[in-house]
Chains A and B, each alone.
Chain A
Amino acid sequence: MTQYAFYFDNSRCTGCKTCELACKDYKDLDQNTAYRKVFDYEGGSWEDKGDGTYETTAFVYHVSMSCNHCDDPACTKVCPTAAMHKDPETGLVSVDADKCIGCGYCHMACPYNAPKVDRVLGHSVKCDGCAERVAAGKNPICVDSCPLRALDFGTVEEMSAKGERANIAPLPESSYTHPNLYIKPCDEARPAGSADGSVINVKEVM
């Protein structure tokens, strides 16, 4: 088996969301569904110096994330029909729409909020790593879209050589599901579980 993985250069990401929109175009998703999302994580405060001037500890960084095709996926464990499954050849996690009953357990279980139930289709939907593109020797559509060259995709051996396993806020600690997402953190990156900041663009990543 070849386990595939994503790489994300957090120091380069400008939060532009090209990855998200490229995916929406390719997968023909509307405004209510995104397989890749960009979280704006920010915090800090301001100090009024009392003389009309200010200093700040404000910070912000972005995390672009799709499904992380985990080693130990929470979604497949809770799926009552085995519709949510991990491909034995590639390690990519996807939904078998014929088997899926749309119960939403995967959505509730995933700590990354990756799967969701499309009420119209009646089944779970999520990033499948552009499996058909990968099979044709291409990258997932999001990876080749990034204007900052902040995304990459390849075997877990290749990607883990470029970054650390995803352990920055607002993501959960990687020990839960062992995500196949490797990150080069920016200088401001807070560790997973940090309470320094919060996701401010909640309505954009629902």
Chain B
Amino acid sequence: MPDMSLNRRTFIKASGALAALVAAGGGLAQTSNEFVAHAAEEAAEETIAWSQCNVNCGGNCIFQWHSKDGKIQYMETDNIGDADFQARACLRGRSMRKWINHPDRLLYPMKRVGKRGEGKFERISWDEAIQTIHDKLEHIYGTYGPESVFINYATGMYSTTGRNPSKRLLGLLGGFVNQGADYSTHMLQVVMPYMFGSDKKKGSVFSPYDNVNASSFSEAEAHSDLVVLFGNSPAETRMGGANATWDFARVREAVTGRGGKIVNIDYRLNETSSGHVNEWLPIRTGTDAALASALVHEFIVDGKTDEAFLREYTVGWDEDTMPESAKGKNLSYKAYIMGEGEDKTEKTPEWAAQITQIPADKIRELARDLENAQAPFVAQGWGSQRHTNGEQTTRAFCMIPIALGKIGLPGTNTGQREAEPPTYLVSQLPFKNPIKTTLPVYEFVNAIDHGHEMTATNAGITGADKLGSDIKCLWNYAGNCLTNQHGDINYTHDILADESKCEFILVWDTVMTDSAKYADILLPDAMRSEQLNMQTQGYSEYYTGVTVGGPAQQAPGECRSSYDVCADIADSFGLKDAFTEGRTQEEWIQYLYEQGMAKDKDMPSWEQIKAQGVYKRKCEPAIGLKDFRDDPKGKPLGTPSGKIEIYSETLANLNDTWELEKDEKIFALPEFDPGFQGYGSVTDEYPLYCSGFHHKSRTHSSFGFIEELQQAARQQVWINPADATPRHIENGDMCSVKSPAGEIRIEARVTNRIIPGTIGIPQGAWHDADMNGDKVDHGGCINTLTTYKPTPLAKGNGPSDSIIAQIAKA
């Protein structure tokens, strides 16, 4: 191994045997056996506390803390029962002790003393913090009303009493603007209901988070003979031992074991196909809809489309299934594919080859595989829709199984991401929000800047015709989405730093994130392993369960639970009883558990779960849209037609009635559209496409400061040798990446695992720039490079993976 011999040489050069002998003198005085702490004879003194990882990978993996003398010693994970059914924590979860005991923990309430974003704070008492929050809320509610208050998108804490104490408090104080959609599936979840249903009274409604609209991986394991993934890498997004990464390992072994095939379409050879590289079909980032269109073209040319299915179950496939308003205009999907539509371009494999960088014969080969499969399981991830053209791309994937009539049948999928579990055993702390106005989350910066101008038709406001106010209070619990995870940090900084715009920013966290630097009041939160914690299984694992336990050790400094703090704030308004209903956090947890028990006879008693910590059971496989397939008349979709709306008349009308920018269009069909900073937009100054990806060292930005993870999985931009060589960039070189929005510094990973012409940056790294100076981000945060431009329909974060860039050695 060349690297190892290098390592040995380095050692000799650095120290030499003699130097090592000298060093050993000190060593002899050290503890002679570092493993004494774990010796069997001392095991009796250890206590076990169960807890969970509660960050937003959807894993909720299980922690089994070993503590002694009130201090956590180490972690075991779920080791209960069947080894194949254990919610084993991933590398991040296994580093949680480092987070809990990190010297950077926030220990005291603080108030800002520098400019917003500078990160200069001064310790204050809890009394002063609560009084300040009280005064600010009183002023803002009194002056601007509840539609000036926004609880910012924040997903760092998935626990029964995690995010909702804030909502419960602000609900009691008059309410707050609701969060519309989310940064995970913004484009997908807004557009899909037009295709698959939104009206409960009429039929089935769409959600990205269920097992009604998507099939489970266990269904693929049982019955599929071809699995096609688009931008879906469970090995990097859903990494725990009961998460999709493990489900997918079993899918692969079952499908290939019976002679089937896996195809993994991504701009990177992602970790899901490590060791199985024949699965990889490299594609230019942001061009998936072109590939999908060409595949459907081949199905048509080969006579493999299921015309009977398409007639009965869909609207807009061909002229015969178009709504009256659109008949006779060549507006059907088939017309689009065959070159009879507006663009007069046939979507041949040769057409798609130019766009996708995939050779036409490879596209035809994939088309044949799909045509010949008995049970194709097509599953997109959420990265592909997180593009400026995401509203088209996400629907285009679904056209593959729809054109073949392969949905709602054993072993198939609807084109959605793999199903989420059907049951969550315990619910969250309840809250009521009297305000119905809902703001697309990604629009919060615009809402601070000019919220009073934002309406349903120019900014996607729902629940009301207009927002009605600028946002004056940002409430941010356990989130890093003010800057780091939002987008266009340099622009966002300018909006947030202007104290005349947003008048009060409250941030609540465990360490100093980039978002926390914008706080006016910054509160130190207790970690969940430092409290009694309860939560069901996560959404990225297909089983049902609940974990109850803790604390494993006491919270440091003056860290408190957010429930207790919110109760104190409520008390300052004379609303303590209304907030607590006489319950402590622990009593709420027991109450919510017992409410769950009342609905589920199999759950153990409160006393039992307190003793055993974990309860789990398996879920039955699910087939997406099976009810609709079995009975399209009796169990229609909640669309205007009750069918799958390939052509959406509603979207066509929105395109005519909404106020759109000149370069924006709302497409009635799932056409390929390059999108802003998408295919074809590269320039001499920014000649490369750039996309983000989820990285093993972080869950979004959670864990981003843990040194052990930074070392084990380095923050590196992936670049193909074809792009690196002419720029004289070698593996490990520090580089500058520039986009129209900003500049970062990041180490290069020169690798054949990425398609030429596109660079890939792990999202979630911690922004680290002098915002009063050159603004160059030495942390390598991709959102320094993203441009703030909400998508046409969803008003979502499409630009997060649509970037043009240049890279050079720094």
A, B co-complexed: yes
Check: B141 CB closer than 8 A to any chain A CB.
no
Within 8 A of A (CB), among B6-35: 6-8, 11-12, 15, 17, 20-21, 23-28, 30-35
**Once the chains are docked, how many angstroms separate the CA of A142 from the CA of B641?**
54
1/0 contact string of B246-273 vs chain A (CB within 8 Å): 1001000000000000000000010110
1/0 contact string of A52-64 vs chain B (CB within 8 Å): 1111101111100
B275 pairs with A123, CB closer than 8 A:
no
**Which listed residue, A119, A186, A202, touches B15 by the CB 8 Å rule?**
A119
Q: Whose C-beta in chain B lies nearest to the C-beta of A205?
A: B3
In the assembled complex, how far is the CB of residue A43 from the closest CB belonging to chain B, in whole angstroms?
Answer: 7
B275 pairs with A13, CB closer than 8 A:
yes
Check: A45 CB closer than 8 A to any chain B CB.
yes
Of B236, B239, B243, B278, chain A has the most CB atoms within 10 Å of the CB of B239
B722 pairs with A200, CB closer than 8 A:
no
B713 / chain A contacts, CB cutoff of 8 Å: 17, 204
B752 pairs with A122, CB closer than 8 A:
no
Check: A174 CB closer than 8 A to any chain B CB.
no
**Once the chains are docked, how many angstroms separate the CA of A128 from the CA of B88?**
23
1/0 contact string of A1-17 vs chain B (CB within 8 Å): 00000000011111111
In the assembled complex, how far is the CB of residue A143 from the closest CB belonging to chain B, in whole angstroms?
Answer: 10
In the assembled complex, how far is the CB of residue A137 from the closest CB belonging to chain B, in whole angstroms?
Answer: 10
B38 pairs with A132, CB closer than 8 A:
yes
Check: A34 CB closer than 8 A to any chain B CB.
yes
Within 8 A of A (CB), among B695-745: 696, 707-714, 720-722, 731-732
Check: A161 CB closer than 8 A to any chain B CB.
no
B90 pairs with A18, CB closer than 8 A:
yes
**Once the chains are docked, how many angstroms separate the CA of A112 from the CA of B241?**
28
Check: B760 CB closer than 8 A to any chain A CB.
no
Of A27, A102, A116, A205, chain B has the most CB atoms within 10 Å of the CB of A102
User: How many A residues touch the partner, as a band?
Assistant: 35 or more
A147 pairs with B88, CB closer than 8 A:
yes
Check: B756 CB closer than 8 A to any chain A CB.
yes
Q: Whose C-beta in chain B lies nearest to the C-beta of A44?
A: B752
Of A16, A42, A120, A172, chain B has the most CB atoms within 10 Å of the CB of A16
**Which listed residue, B17, B30, B752, touches A121 by the CB 8 Å rule?**
B30
B34 pairs with A187, CB closer than 8 A:
no
B278 / chain A contacts, CB cutoff of 8 Å: 187
**Which listed residue, A16, A102, A148, A203, touches B696 by the CB 8 Å rule?**
A16
Check: B2 CB closer than 8 A to any chain A CB.
yes
Check: B498 CB closer than 8 A to any chain A CB.
no
B243 pairs with A46, CB closer than 8 A:
no
**Once the chains are docked, how many angstroms separate the CA of A42 from the CA of B753?**
8
A102 pairs with B27, CB closer than 8 A:
yes
B245 / chain A contacts, CB cutoff of 8 Å: 14, 16, 147-148
Check: B79 CB closer than 8 A to any chain A CB.
yes
Check: B624 CB closer than 8 A to any chain A CB.
no
B20 pairs with A53, CB closer than 8 A:
no
Check: A89 CB closer than 8 A to any chain B CB.
no
A104 / chain B contacts, CB cutoff of 8 Å: 11-12, 15, 17, 20
**Once the chains are docked, how many angstroms separate the CA of A107 from the CA of B429?**
54
**Once the chains are docked, how many angstroms separate the CA of A51 from the CA of B362?**
14
**Once the chains are docked, how many angstroms separate the CA of A116 from the CA of B271?**
29
Determine, out of B106-114, B353-361, B404-412, B576-584, the stretch whose residues face the partner at the interface: B353-361
**Once the chains are docked, how many angstroms separate the CA of A54 from the CA of B25?**
59
In the assembled complex, how far is the CB of residue B67 from the closest CB belonging to chain A, in whole angstroms?
Answer: 13
B753 / chain A contacts, CB cutoff of 8 Å: 42, 58, 60
A73 / chain B contacts, CB cutoff of 8 Å: none
Q: A17-B91, A104-B17 are in contact. Are A55 and B359 (CB under 8 A)?
A: yes
In the assembled complex, how far is the CB of residue A39 from the closest CB belonging to chain B, in whole angstroms?
Answer: 8
B280 / chain A contacts, CB cutoff of 8 Å: 58
A58 pairs with B752, CB closer than 8 A:
yes
Check: B44 CB closer than 8 A to any chain A CB.
no
In the assembled complex, how far is the CB of residue B469 from the closest CB belonging to chain A, in whole angstroms?
Answer: 46
**Once the chains are docked, how many angstroms separate the CA of A15 from the CA of B268?**
15
**Which listed residue, B34, B239, B752, touches A45 by the CB 8 Å rule?**
B752
Of B33, B235, B713, chain A has the most CB atoms within 10 Å of the CB of B713
B74 pairs with A146, CB closer than 8 A:
no
**Which listed residue, B12, B24, B711, touches A204 by the CB 8 Å rule?**
B711
Check: A157 CB closer than 8 A to any chain B CB.
no
**Once the chains are docked, how many angstroms separate the CA of A36 from the CA of B759?**
30
A12 pairs with B249, CB closer than 8 A:
yes
In the assembled complex, how far is the CB of residue A36 from the closest CB belonging to chain B, in whole angstroms?
Answer: 10
Q: Whose C-beta in chain B lies nearest to the C-beta of A198?
A: B2
**Once the chains are docked, how many angstroms separate the CA of A33 from the CA of B601?**
48
**Which listed residue, A14, A201, A203, touches B271 by the CB 8 Å rule?**
A14
**Once the chains are docked, how many angstroms separate the CA of A149 from the CA of B6?**
32
Q: A55-B359, A61-B274 are in contact. Are A135 and B40 (CB under 8 A)?
A: yes
A46 pairs with B722, CB closer than 8 A:
yes
**Which listed residue, B11, B21, B94, B357, touches A108 by the CB 8 Å rule?**
B11
Q: A25-B97, A52-B353, A60-B753 are in contact. Are A98 and B28 (CB under 8 A)?
A: yes
Q: Whose C-beta in chain A lies nearest to the C-beta of B246?
A: A147
**Which listed residue, A14, A27, A128, A202, touches B732 by the CB 8 Å rule?**
A202
A48 pairs with B722, CB closer than 8 A:
yes
In the assembled complex, how far is the CB of residue B426 from the closest CB belonging to chain A, in whole angstroms?
Answer: 24
A45 / chain B contacts, CB cutoff of 8 Å: 752
B1 pairs with A188, CB closer than 8 A:
no
Check: B282 CB closer than 8 A to any chain A CB.
yes
A146 pairs with B88, CB closer than 8 A:
yes
Within 8 A of B (CB), among A144-172: 144-149, 170-172
B95 pairs with A111, CB closer than 8 A:
no
Check: B75 CB closer than 8 A to any chain A CB.
yes
**Once the chains are docked, how many angstroms separate the CA of A48 from the CA of B725?**
15
B98 / chain A contacts, CB cutoff of 8 Å: 25
A54 / chain B contacts, CB cutoff of 8 Å: 282, 357, 359, 755-756
A51 / chain B contacts, CB cutoff of 8 Å: 353-354, 359
**Once the chains are docked, how many angstroms separate the CA of A147 from the CA of B245?**
8
In the assembled complex, how far is the CB of residue A70 from the closest CB belonging to chain B, in whole angstroms?
Answer: 15
Q: Whose C-beta in chain A lies nearest to the C-beta of B277?
A: A59
Check: A75 CB closer than 8 A to any chain B CB.
no
B358 / chain A contacts, CB cutoff of 8 Å: 53
Check: B751 CB closer than 8 A to any chain A CB.
yes
Q: Whose C-beta in chain B lies nearest to the C-beta of A105?
A: B17
Check: B240 CB closer than 8 A to any chain A CB.
yes
Q: Whose C-beta in chain B lies nearest to the C-beta of A98?
A: B32
**Once the chains are docked, how many angstroms separate the CA of A187 from the CA of B262?**
14
B21 / chain A contacts, CB cutoff of 8 Å: 101-103
A147 pairs with B243, CB closer than 8 A:
yes
* Interchain residue pairs with CB less than 8 A apart (11): A16-B90, A31-B711, A60-B269, A122-B25, A122-B28, A123-B24, A123-B30, A133-B38, A145-B89, A145-B94, A170-B3
9 additional A-B residue pairs with CB within 8 Å, beyond A14-B236, A18-B88, A170-B1: A24-B94, A30-B707, A48-B756, A58-B753, A97-B32, A100-B27, A133-B38, A146-B241, A202-B6
B residues engaging A (CB < 8 A)? 1-4, 6-8, 11-12, 15, 17, 20-21, 23-28, 30-35, 38-40, 43, 74-77, 79, 83-84, 88-92, 94-95, 97-98, 235-236, 239-241, 243, 245-246, 249, 269, 271-272, 274-278, 280, 282, 353-354, 356-360, 362, 696, 707-714, 720-722, 731-732, 749, 751-753, 755-756
| Those 10 A-B pairs whose CB atoms lie nearest each other, nearest first | A122-B27, A186-B275, A102-B24, A58-B752, A14-B235, A31-B711, A147-B241, A61-B275, A21-B91, A21-B94
A residues engaging B (CB < 8 A)? 10-18, 20-22, 24-32, 34, 38, 42-46, 48-49, 51-56, 58-62, 97-98, 100-105, 107-108, 111-113, 116-123, 125, 128, 131-133, 135-136, 141, 144-149, 170-172, 186-189, 198-206
